[in-house]
Amino acid sequence: MSSPREKALSDAEVTAWLAENLPRWRLEDGWIRRTYKTASWKSTMMVINTVGHLAEAAWHHPDITASYAWVEVRLVTHSAKGITDKDLNLAKKIEDVVHWQPAGEGVFEGTPSDQRFAYIKYD
């Protein structure tokens, strides 16, 4: 389960990578962070569960803070005392899955535009 200790990246490396690959994520207080706006508690829980599933599968565990209509995800590699490739790759996977919109992909319709079925507020 454990791998060789990952190397923490410099703030400049992290900032440059985020700007190029995940512009809605930010480096702040030693963590990379992203706040997702949601439509309701139901969609907040869907985001939390999605992040939890991806993190567990990656054997990496984010800090998550949530309220009725938002979820903040924070990543750092504690063993490296900083941000590593593991954090950046998990952030990318989270972003890809949370923002996936199936409309137009074969049999998938996507959620209706009706607010009763609202999910994430795409930015």
91 burial (CB, 10 Å; 0-12 / 13-18 / 19+) is buried
Superfamily of domain 30-100+112-123: Transcriptional coactivator/pterin dehydratase (3.30.1360.20)
Q: What is the DSSP letter of 72?
A: E
At 4-52, the pLDDT tens digits run 678 999 999 999 999 999 999 999 999 999 999 999 999 999 999 999 9
| Cβ–Cβ < 8 Å for 71, 44 | yes
Distances in Å between the Cα of 29 and the Cα atoms of 35, 49, 59, 66, 67 are: 15, 25, 23, 19, 21
- State the Cα–Cα distance between residues 52 and 113, nearest whole angstrom: 26
The rounded percent of the chain whose pLDDT value lies above 70 is: 95
User: Any idea where the domains of the chain sit in the sequence?
Assistant: 30-100+112-123
Average pLDDT, the chain: 91
Taking only the tens place, the pLDDT of each residue in 84-123 is 999 999 999 999 999 887 776 678 877 777 777 777 777 7
pTM: 0.89
